[in-house]
Amino acid sequence: MTDSRTNWAPRLAQYKRPDNLRAVFELAITVIAFVALWAGIWALLKAGYVTTFIAGLLALLPAAGLMVRLFIIQHDCGHGSLFSSQKANMWLGRVLGVFTFTPFDYWRLQHAGHHATSGNLDKRGVGDIDTLTVREYLSRGKFGRLVYRLYRNPIVMFGLGPSYVFLLRHRLPIGSMKNGWTPWVSTLATNVGIVLVSAAIIYATSWKMFLLIQIPIVVLGATIGMWLFYVQHQFDETHWDRNTEWQRDTAALHGSSFYDLPKPLMWISGNIGIHHVHHLSSRIPFHKLPQVIKDYPELKEVGRLTLWESFKAVKLTLWDEERRELVSFRDLGLRAQGSVA
């Protein structure tokens, strides 16, 4: 087992240097592929035949995958890891935020909080999936338990939730006044950009095509992104500690998964599945993460999840502090029945 006490900072320092040419290449192939696929879907739907219409709808899924890849590039801009110029990182992140429906500066503040508190039971609620402990859940009344169960229901978590976050919640940064005007300026500027880009798409195509292509791509991309974010921290071997015991590297290495996806899915998701390494050193550009795994094979088995294994994580809903593991509502119910018997 990989020792979390190992000082990973000097080992990973060499990977943190941005590669501007590689960054431009990764951005270019993603944008070109996305635009080409968008245009291809438009042509298929416009043809008017049943077969081309179905083919166009099916092509929405890889287009949404490319939207996720654009988000990962934006994500690297937020960490200042894509380009050597921070000005380039900031402005590219803001521009991409218009297409991913994500106000860059507002999101960046939230995400920095996530990295600073991930795995800390006493600092939950900052850019993460709300997770109650067993004790906290049992202390709630019937209504409070029902609300939490609804929140953790897969239909809400991966269906309604992503659309709510990206289409509605990101439009106004309610509750962020303590961070000054930055979240509001970021959000409102992004909203203006979204309106202008949407108007341009509608003008060039039509309302119908905008509703059939752009909105489904954003919704599907948001759903994929929510799934990735979920399994990166909500899995069987994840790690949580109270603030007095919490250590950054331990939380990063054992509280984040290595989502070992097939290579095409790893590419389209911007290698974000190598999440434990990303949390160990967030300044490593996404395209260098596979090299870290190759150079340090001991990291391959830490928190490793296959695509099939990841589906089992959906049932994990509560953190059991005594057993130090995530458990399901069903596990808790069976335990209660056993204690009564």
* Dihedral (CA of 310, 167, 217, 27) sign: negative
Q: What are phi and psi of 116, to 5 degrees?
A: -80, -15
According to the model, what pLDDT value does residue 290 have? 96
Place of tokens 């049992």: 138
pTM, two decimals, is 0.92
Q: Please count the other Cβ atoms lying within 10 Å of the Cβ belonging to residue 2.
A: 16
Chain segment 103-155, per-residue pLDDT in tens: 999 999 889 989 999 999 999 877 788 999 999 999 999 999 999 999 999 99
Tokens for 140, please give them. Answer: 């709630």
* Dihedral (CA of 44, 69, 223, 173) sign: negative
- pLDDT category of residue 1 using cuts at 50, 70 and 90: very low
DSSP 186-231: HHHHHHHHHHHHHHHHHHHS-HHHIIIIIHHHHHHHHHHHHHHHHH
Amino acid at 11: R
Q: What are phi and psi of 326, to 5 degrees?
A: -80, 140
Decide the pairing of beta strands 318-320 and 304-305.
Answer: unpaired
d(CA 56, CA 50): 10
According to the model, what pLDDT value does residue 12 have? 93
Res 341 pLDDT > 60: no
Q: Which is more confidently placed, 147 or 167?
A: 147
Asked if 126 contacts 114 with a C-beta cutoff of 8 angstroms, the reply is yes
d(CA 63, CA 78): 23
Chain segment 27-82, per-residue pLDDT in tens: 999 999 999 999 999 999 988 788 888 998 899 999 999 999 999 999 999 999 99
- Indicate left, alpha or beta for 127 from its phi (over 0: left) and psi (-120 to 50: alpha): left
According to the model, what pLDDT value does residue 215 have? 94
According to the model, what pLDDT value does residue 181 have? 82
Question: Count of residues for the chain?
Answer: 341
